[in-house]
Amino acid sequence: MPIFKNFDKRFMNKSQKENILQIRDIESIEYYKNYVFSRDFQTQDFDVYEHVWSHGDKLYKLAHRYFGDRNLFWLIGLFNNKPTDSHYTYGDVIYIPKDYLSFYRSVVK
C-alpha cells in the first residue's frame, strides 16, 4: 500500500543487467510493478463502523468480522492509512467502511 514518491530511483545500465543475468545464468527477470491505489476515496464520505483496537485484534480478523472475508484486511489498513497490525496500538479508534464494496471500487480502478 505504500506510495513510493520520495525514494531515490536507481537505474541499471546495460552492462549491469547483462552481468546479473550472466551471474544468475538466466535469460530474463520477471518482476511486478508496485500498485498505487487511488486516493480519491479521501474526498468521499463513507458510513463507518468505529472499532477500538484491543488485545488480540488483527486486521484480517476485523475484515472477517465486518466484511465476511479475511482477505480484505488491506481495505481497513488503507482506509485508516495504517497498512499493518504493527501500526496500531491499544485504544486506537479504527474506522471501517460499512459499504466496503463501494470503497473497494473507489480505490481499485
Distance CA 105, CA 101 (A): 6
pLDDT digits (tens, 9 = 90+) for 45-68: 889 999 999 999 999 999 999 999
For the chain, the structural domain boundaries read 14-107
Distance CA 96, CA 82 (A): 12
Residue range 79-98: average pLDDT? 95
Distance CA 20, CA 27 (A): 10
pTM for this prediction: 0.67
Grid coordinates given for 5: 514518491
62 burial type by CB count under 10 A (0-12 exposed, 13-18 middle, 19+ buried): buried
Q: What is the pLDDT of residue 43?
A: 75
Q: What is the pLDDT of residue 1?
A: 44
Let me know: does 77 contact 68? Beta carbons within 8 Å: no
Distance CA 62, CA 80 (A): 13
Q: Among 71, 68, 70, 60, which residue's Cα sits nearest to residue 98?
A: 68
